[in-house]
Structure 1
Amino acid sequence: HTKKVEIAPNDSDIVTIEVSSTPSALGTGLMRALLNNGSAQFTVKGTAYIDTIVGELPVPFESEYNAGPHSPAKSDK
């Protein structure tokens, strides 16, 4: 699904995304989490498209997260 979200200049918003996976990938992720003291790492990658006066500008993004009881903060790239 592709849905356009408009955010005004100098504003912010929360964008909710749908995530899907395969049973085999979930099994592998669960096993890694158990082996890493209940922590799991995941990455969100995508492209934001910014409307400018000269046209649409694609801006790729990537953020890594560690989820678990002793998780450090996320890292953005």
Structure 2
Amino acid sequence: MTTVGIFEAKQKLSELIDRVERGEEVRITRNGKHVVRLVPDRDDAANPGIEALERIRARLSKPGVLKGGEVTVDEILSWRDDGRR
């Protein structure tokens, strides 16, 4: 997490926004006190982790998938890790 004063934030707003877009959190201070926190805007609908979970649920909801041994632990872990890359 980066902390900057309000004057510096005004001077480097574009740079700070670029950092936030890459996932970093930025705090802005006024007179040494935190007043603003810039964080990435996360839309749950666009979250790849949620999408991966939905794919896992769809696959596991098919009749006989778990009983027939069609899904391996490695597959489940791979599905879980989709979107973490």
Verify same fold: TM over 0.5: no
Name which structure has the greater RCO, CA cutoff 8 Å, separation 6+.
2
Larger radius of gyration: 2
Structure ranking higher in helix proportion? 2
TM (normalized to structure 2)?
0.27
